[in-house]
Amino acid sequence: MNREMIIVLDFGGQYNQLIARRVRECNTYCEVHPYTLPLSEIKAKAPKGIIFTGGPNSVYGADSPQADPELYKLGIPILGICYGAQLLAHQLGGKVETAPVSEYGKTEVSFEKSGALFGELCGEPGNSGCTIAWMSHTDYIAKAPEGFSVTAKTPVCPVAAMECPEKGFYATQFHPEVMHSKEGFKILKAFVNDVCGCTGKWQMASFADETIKAVREKVGSGKVLCALSGGVDSSVAAVLLSKAVGKQLTCVFVDHGLLRKDEGDQVEAVFGPDGPYDLNFIRVNAQQRFYDKLAGVEEPERKRKIIGEEFIRVFEEEAKKIGAVDFLVQGTIYPDIIESGLGGSAVIKSHHNVGGLPDYVDFKEIIEPLRMLFKDEVRKVGLELGIPEYLVYRQPFPGPGLGIRIIGEVNAEKVKIVQEADAIYREEIDRAVKEGKMVAPNQYFAALTNMRSVGVMGDFRTYDYAVALRAVTTSDFMTAEAAEIPWAVLSHITTRIVNEVKGVSRCLYDCTTKPPATIEME
């Protein structure tokens, strides 16, 4: 695997994952690290380029995060985005101030000169071009540092982009990584390929073979326990490990009672003794155990951590039954790590297999073969491993399951409600897609709110729950748009849920994008 690398140094920006994902779309490997990553480690990684992310602070604040000044002496090209752009200006002798007018959202940006990043976007030499880009800032660069030339501006932002090619420093006040920036990908690609000289040869094709080889060497003759949920990530991890160590692997599927309707049986049909894979498979029915642990708990992070710890405890118990298990395998992927706030990023939500892990885990080591991959990359690996498309392209399902699709306290009654509502929702969406009434969303599910409202059924007053319906379109699950479901389809779904699911009197449709919302409710 070609490992030319771009490092993204995170200063607390909400789009840190997205920057890395866009760089990988240039077929160049990319990792996200906190801005505090030691200089020695950066040198050891030998990146071809460095990108500074945005962030919520003011660069001139007393406690604002700063880049190590020695970074600027490494001779490695640096691109600063938003806060990262202001940081370059601030640390290299420019001037950053509170902007007289803040800019948020889509903004027209005029190019002053082509520069290394804008290339043909400016048209003929001497002619200015313009584009629509995504802005999100209160401060701005009032004066570029000495040696920099201004390459773009807006009516209220005198330095929307700047560069110093002699030193390899580039900056954009706007966010080229966000899809709302019309030419953003071309700009990032110019930095990765033209400025940093990356050849774009990093591909997923060799990932599986190299990972299988590395896992086989690590495990040796040891025994491995795989935490199998039946979702895309854990399924790919299970097959990957099966090919690496064969019968040394035991897959434990914990039915925590928070799965979609009939999903436990479906998982067993695929990975159990009658399925297509030669796996040691154990199903643990622990529904009541999890319900008991979650009784009275409403706060989302506590629910995630309780579920995460209980998962591990069940795995530990099963490992003792098997005897001398050395390794635990999880289907952790890169967004799990970043969103869980490890390595300095802000905590968005603790994933049960990362930030939700307890302090003590009774295994020699945890193996996470997919931890540096994004969801679409995991799917590519799955296809490469020969996993059927219907498994590889199934909708993502969170490890905590319905525990985070039920707002507030979780109990068996609420689980039953959301399972039934979700089954109807998915059935009707699938039917509408097959009948050509709509384009299939990338993910869709029903969640149970903690709101109850008055209704009327058969001349009787009811006081039941409201179900929230969610459907999104996305390519990478880091950003997402609410899917446009035809009104007739939504109306029919609502009628069925209210009529057929006991305890529901109302249906709501969630139109919120990601960001600012996450795809899941909690």
Catalytic residue positions, numbered: 82, 175, 177
E-strand spans in 229-318? 249-255, 280-285
- The residue type found at 171 is A
Q: How far does the chain reach from its first CA to its final CA, in angstroms?
A: 37
Antiparallel, parallel or unpaired: β 249-255 and 157-164: unpaired
Residue 13 has, within 13 A of its CA and on its CB side, a CA count of 29
With vertex at residue 129, the alpha carbon angle to CA 123 and CA 130, rounded to the nearest 5 degrees, is: 145
Residues with Cβ within 8 Å of residue 445, at least 6 apart in sequence: 395, 405, 422, 425, 426, 469, 470
Question: Is the Cβ–Cβ distance between 398 and 520 less than 8 Å?
Answer: yes
In this structure, the number of other CB atoms found within 10 A of the CB of residue 406 comes to 24
With vertex at residue 148, the alpha carbon angle to CA 70 and CA 105, rounded to the nearest 5 degrees, is: 95
Torsion-angle region of 53 (φ positive above 0: left; ψ -120 to 50: alpha; else: beta): beta
The CA-atom distances, in angstroms, between 91 and each of 67, 86, 94, 145 are: 8, 9, 7, 9
How many angstroms separate the CA atoms of 35 and 39, rounded?
A: 10
How many angstroms separate the CA atoms of 450 and 464, rounded?
A: 10
Burial class (CB in 10 A: 0-12, 13-18, 19+), 512: middle
How many angstroms separate the CA atoms of 427 and 419, rounded?
A: 12
Torsion-angle region of 466 (φ positive above 0: left; ψ -120 to 50: alpha; else: beta): beta
How many angstroms separate the CA atoms of 158 and 178, rounded?
A: 21
Antiparallel, parallel or unpaired: β 443-457 and 78-81: unpaired
How many angstroms separate the CA atoms of 292 and 176, rounded?
A: 47
CA 329 vs. chain centroid, Å, equals: 20
How many angstroms separate the CA atoms of 429 and 168, rounded?
A: 50
The CA-atom distances, in angstroms, between 319 and each of 132, 241, 242, 323, 325 are: 55, 17, 17, 6, 6
Instruction: Give the 3-state secondary structure of 454-502.
Output: EEEECCEEEEEEEEEEEEEECCCCCCEEECCCCHHHHHHHHHHHHHHCC
Q: What are phi and psi of 120, to 5 degrees?
A: -70, -10
Question: Is the Cβ–Cβ distance between 225 and 328 less than 8 Å?
Answer: yes
